[in-house]
Structure 1
Amino acid sequence: MRTVQLKRGKNEAWQYVGKALVLSKPLVLVFGNRFLLEDTSIYEEIKGLFPDGEIVFGSTSGDISSNMVNEESVTITAIEFEKTNVLIKTENVLNGNGDDYQTGANLMNKFPEEDLQFMLLITDGSYINGSNLTRGLNNAMKKRILVTGGMCADDTRFERTLSSYNENPKEGEIVAVGFYGTALEVTSSIYGGWTPFGPERIVTKSEGNVLYELDSLPALELYKNYLGEKSKDLPASALLYPLNVVAEGSKHAIVRSILNIDEEANAIILAGDIPVNSKVQLMMTNVDNIANASERAARQALEQCKNKPELAMLVSCIGRKLVLDQRVEEEVEEVLEVVGAETTLTGFYSYGEIAPFSGEQGCRLHNQTMTITLMSEV
């Protein structure tokens, strides 16, 4: 496996991050600012850099390379595999019937099973219910494979998210990258670093990812009372106070970010499902807890490796980035210290992270976590 990274800001030329190499038929991951990805020449520009590359785009709330978090920029990570084949398929939710579960199943069914080792998902972050999408993927799998990835983002604007494969980035797109061959070793891990606080409440009315009532009281009104003065900055301020959700009968807590609010319905719109009868608490954190969680995720992923990782894919949540603020690079530096400077780092800040819980095989939608995927060829 060989990698090349480049980055550029607005009205800037491309600059290499590390060595400049000529790669053969690389997988080209392009993560960046939504406004820069809206440039109608972006695909042709990158195709000019990697004429025989398979190019995948995703808009972000910050893109990751080496030990840097880049904002208002575009970062390219091109990966040449020696023994691994890549197959890429897409679905677009704006062209379908609105059934995200079926969309996930349809996408999974496009991939031949033989020698499929791993799937990377780069998905729309505006129209998709990530919980339903991952359930559809899981239920369509005939053999269990590792699936990780994330939902594209648009900083704190929540206006448009973009993704695509071998064309200009667009809305509603889900890109799945399948990796084939037994030479590929892939491990993953997730950690959050958030702490529940305040009273535990019961979800008494919800539909999918829309929360209407807690303890039979309007959810948005309750949430605004907790936030006090900060409620005037909703929905952005909600990223600092996500919800800890324990579904009835579940052994795992899921963190859910609030992506938007519905003033008319007095409701909260979340990144994933929040079932009726779930127990819910507010959560908070600090810079040290966030950085420590990233280190733990890196160590747990590394402990599963038999070989030195060559590539580390990091998908972290925009809410974590807001907490870290000027110290945002600290959680990336924690990962780099664990995996080693020889490992290429790539990734982005997202509206939702996709990965399994430790010890489980089926992927899930998470919020407010650091998700780390380590890859190498043997």
Structure 2
Amino acid sequence: MKTVQLVKHANEDWVYVGENQKLQNPLVIVFGNRLLLEATTIYEEIKVLFPDGHIVFGSACAEISSNTVNENSITITAIEFEKSQFIIKTSNVLNTDLDSFKTGNDLIQQFPEEGLKYVFVVSEGSFINGSQLTKGMSAPSNNNLLITGGLCGDDTRFEKTLASYNENPKEGELVAIGFYGDSLEITFSIHGGWTPFGPERTVTKSEGNVLYELDGQPALDLYKTYLGDKAKDLPGAALLYPLNVKSTGDEQSIVRSILNINEDDNAVILAGDIKENSKVQLMMTNVDNIANASERAARQALEFRKNKPDIAFLVSCIGRKLVLDQRVEEEIDEVIEILGEGTTVTGFYSYGEIAPFHGETACQLHNQTMTITLISE
């Protein structure tokens, strides 16, 4: 496997991260600031760099490369596979009835089943119900296909997200990359580093990803009470205090970010579904816990591998980036140090992370986590 990485900041030229080498028919993954990806010439500009490339775009809250976190920029990772093949499929939720389960189901069923080892998903992050999307993607294989990825981001603007394949990035787009090859070895892990605090409450009214009541009280009022002075900064402030959700019948609790609020209904809108009768607690974290969680995820992903990974796909959450602030590079440095030289690192900060729980196979939507997928040929 050969890789090339480039980074471009606003009004600057492309800069190579590491060496420049000629690639044939590469997979070209482009993560970048949404405002920069809106340039009408962006696809043609990258097509000049990689004329025979298969170019996948996704807007990000920040991009991850082999040596740092890039902000207000565009990062390209181009990959030439020597023994493996990939197929790219797309869907657009603006062209459907916004049935997220059906969107995910239909997207995965576009792939030929024989030899399909793994799917990496770059999904739009504005309209999609990530919980239903992941259930739909897992359904055709009865949860036996490894799927990881994330929901595109737009920093703290929350205005719109963009994605595409071999065209200028656009709204509503989902892109899935299916990997085929007998020699492929793929491992993954996921960790958060957040700690529940305060009383546990019961969801007494919810619908899909909208939380209306906790213990019979308006959810938004309760949340504002906990936030105190920080409530004036909603919805952005909510990313620092996600919810720990334990649903009846589920073995593991899941973290849910609050992406928006509805003042009229006194409700909060989450990144994924929240079932009635679930138990909910607020969560908090600090820089050390986040960095330690990233290190644990890297060690766990490496644990049972036979071969050194050629490439690592990292998807972390915007909430983690906000907690880390000026120290955002620390969690990526932890991962890079564990993986060691020879592994190309790429990825992005997202509105939601897609991966199974460690040790499981059914992909789910997570928030506030670091997900790591390691690939070798």
What's the TM-score bracket when you normalise by the shorter of the two chains? over 0.9
The alpha-carbon deviation at position 106 of structure 1 amounts to 0.5
1:67–1:329 contact (8 Å) kept in structure 2: no
State the one-letter code of the partner of 1:221.
D
State the one-letter code of the partner of 1:345.
V
CA gap of 1:143–1:277, structure 2 versus 1, over 3 A, is: closer
CA gap of 1:193–1:143, structure 2 versus 1, over 3 A, is: closer
1:24-39 equivalent positions in 2, closer than 5 A: 24-39=24-39
Distance 2:92 2:351 in 1: 18
The alpha-carbon deviation at position 341 of structure 1 amounts to 2.2
Partner residue, 2:137: 137
Partner residue, 1:317: 317
Question: Over residues 29-57 of structure 1, what are the superposed CA-to-partner deviations in whole Å (9 max), with x where a residue is unaligned?
Answer: 00000000000100000011001000000
1:1-378 equivalent positions in 2, closer than 5 A: 1-141=1-141, 144-377=144-377
Question: Over residues 68-124 of structure 1, what are the superposed CA-to-partner deviations in whole Å (9 max), with x where a residue is unaligned?
Answer: 101000000000000111100011001001111011111111011101000000000
Distance 1:85 1:143 in 2: 22
Distance 1:139 1:95 in 2: 22
Distance 1:355 1:137 in 2: 11
Distance 1:139 1:370 in 2: 24
The alpha-carbon deviation at position 317 of structure 1 amounts to 0.3
Distance 2:252 2:131 in 1: 14
State the one-letter code of the partner of 1:5.
Q
The alpha-carbon deviation at position 302 of structure 1 amounts to 0.4
Distance 2:217 2:67 in 1: 45
- The residue matched to 2:126 in structure 1 has which SS? coil
Identity within the alignment, %:
69
Q: TM-score, normalised by structure 1?
A: 0.99
Number of residue equivalences:
377
Q: TM-score, normalised by structure 2?
A: 0.99
Name segments (4+ residues, structure 1) moved above 6 Å: none
The alpha-carbon deviation at position 67 of structure 1 amounts to 2.4
1:108–1:141 contact (8 Å) kept in structure 2: no
The alpha-carbon deviation at position 249 of structure 1 amounts to 1.6
Distance 1:247 1:104 in 2: 22
- The residue matched to 1:169 in structure 2 has which SS? coil
1:113–1:143 contact (8 Å) kept in structure 2: no
State the one-letter code of the partner of 1:375.
I
Distance 1:258 1:163 in 2: 22
The alpha-carbon deviation at position 342 of structure 1 amounts to 1.6
CA gap of 1:260–1:62, structure 2 versus 1, over 3 A, is: same
Distance 2:187 2:304 in 1: 6
Distance 2:59 2:227 in 1: 29
Distance 2:118 2:350 in 1: 20
1:261–1:269 contact (8 Å) kept in structure 2: yes
1:261–1:268 contact (8 Å) kept in structure 2: yes
State the one-letter code of the partner of 1:151.
L
Distance 2:65 2:229 in 1: 36
Distance 2:281 2:232 in 1: 21
State the one-letter code of the partner of 2:3.
T
1:33–1:60 contact (8 Å) kept in structure 2: yes
Distance 2:147 2:369 in 1: 16
State the one-letter code of the partner of 2:86.
V
State the one-letter code of the partner of 1:3.
T
Question: Over residues 222-273 of structure 1, what are the superposed CA-to-partner deviations in whole Å (9 max), with x where a residue is unaligned?
Answer: 0000000000000000000000000012110100001000111111000000
Distance 1:52 1:153 in 2: 27
Distance 2:231 2:130 in 1: 26
Question: Over residues 7-36 of structure 1, what are the superposed CA-to-partner deviations in whole Å (9 max), with x where a residue is unaligned?
Answer: 000111001000001100000000000000
The alpha-carbon deviation at position 142 of structure 1 amounts to 5.5
- The residue matched to 1:277 in structure 2 has which SS? coil
- The residue matched to 1:44 in structure 2 has which SS? helix
The alpha-carbon deviation at position 140 of structure 1 amounts to 1.5
The gaps in structure 2 that reach 5 residues or longer are none
State the one-letter code of the partner of 2:158.
F
State the one-letter code of the partner of 2:148.
T
Question: Over residues 274-293 of structure 1, what are the superposed CA-to-partner deviations in whole Å (9 max), with x where a residue is unaligned?
Answer: 10000000000000000000
- The residue matched to 1:341 in structure 2 has which SS? coil
Distance 2:24 2:91 in 1: 27
State the one-letter code of the partner of 1:210.
V
The alpha-carbon deviation at position 183 of structure 1 amounts to 1.4
- The residue matched to 1:176 in structure 2 has which SS? strand
